[in-house]
Amino acid sequence: MSKEKNKTRIIQHDLKFWKNLSVLLHSMNQSSTESEVVEIIGSFCKKTFLYDKATLFTRDYYNNRSLVIKWTDGYRGDFTAGEIFRAGKCLFGDVLKSNKPVIFNYAAQNKKRINIDVKNDPGFLGFFGIPIRWKNSVFGALVFETNYSLSEDGENIENLGFVQKNIGAAFHRMKEYHILHDRSVKDGLTKLYNRRAFDEAVTRELARSARYKSTMCLLMIDIDCFKNVNDNYGHLFGDFVLQRTAELLQKNVRKIDHLARYGGEEFTVIVVNATKKLSFSTAERLRSAIEQEDFEKDDISINLKISIGIAEYPTDGKDVEKIISRADIALYDAKKAGGNLVKHFKKERSTDS
């Protein structure tokens, strides 16, 4: 086989291709996270395909018209993982529209390769891409670019088709698993994590704090006089209040903290790596956000307030039960004092050691 003919190949070795595909599918468990799956696919690509740049991108979760680059390998002079670009009229976007694997050479194309302003043109000649399908929709793609021209032969297209089918199926299994998992740990009304998820998180964070000798605070939050909302305006408006409260709380906690609906009108926040001083600042921000909100729906407009109790690990307790109990005691003290307050647990209130 001539050197030029070798250059048209996109698979490093036929036997290795099937072996690598088998390892890929075995590695992609249902419970794998997206980042783990991306890493596994990247490793497969490096071992399997001949390319000078590889790119994996998916549709943006928040904007279906935008695409997010999840992984790149090879040439570094143009774009990297994390960048977002418009699907629009570009060759990368065309892979999604094709719905099947494609192979072509840049000389025959007039479109931009990607809708990102690239200062350095890498001068690639060959291009092959694999749309990633989930059910009946294409939600991402693998794109490979080469410094040499490619031939669109049946064997290459067939091999890419096997990759498309199997990676799509693996992504499908992973997505279905995480949808079901989310349903089991998310509150149906507020979409926050539920009591089960909170129990798992507080146990995990307490163990982490103990291991690294760090502090952790638990905030117990209760909407003041919430029973009056249901009694005066009905349960549908009460549900709206809970949903809007959840949104406001979510906007005012750090991404690393854990917010959950504890039950009824009660919420919790696990403030990781935080002393009472930092957690008090967080609690005051939450309290103020609720106090300043006008809860308006269907010609009803009311103002609400919340009370918050804080307990700190390890100062206020060294196990989950005590931390929860003492945050609850502090919450009771805040409500007893008139509500719309943040209270720390005080040791003199404790009846145990």
For residues 101 and 129, the answer to whether their CB atoms sit within 8 Å is: yes
Q: Which amino acid is residue 317, in one-letter code?
A: G
If you write DSSP's letter for every residue of 202-238 in order, what string do you get?
Answer: HHHHHHHHHHHT--EEEEEEEETTHHHHHHHH-HHHH
Burial 309-331 (b: 16+ CB within 10 A, else e): bbbbbbebbeebebbbbbbbbbb
Q: What is the distance between the alpha carbons of residues 136 and 63, in angstroms, rounded to a whole number?
A: 19
Give the active site residue among 265, 266, 293, 321: 265
Distance from chain centroid for Cα 97: 25
Q: What is the distance between the alpha carbons of residues 292 and 72, in angstroms, rounded to a whole number?
A: 45
Q: Beta strands of the chain (E only): which ranges?
A: 53-59, 66-74, 84-86, 102-105, 126-134, 137-146, 216-223, 258-263, 266-272, 295-297, 300-302, 306-313, 342-344
**Beta-bridge partners for 267:** 221, 261
Known active-site residue 176: no
Catalytic machinery residues: 265
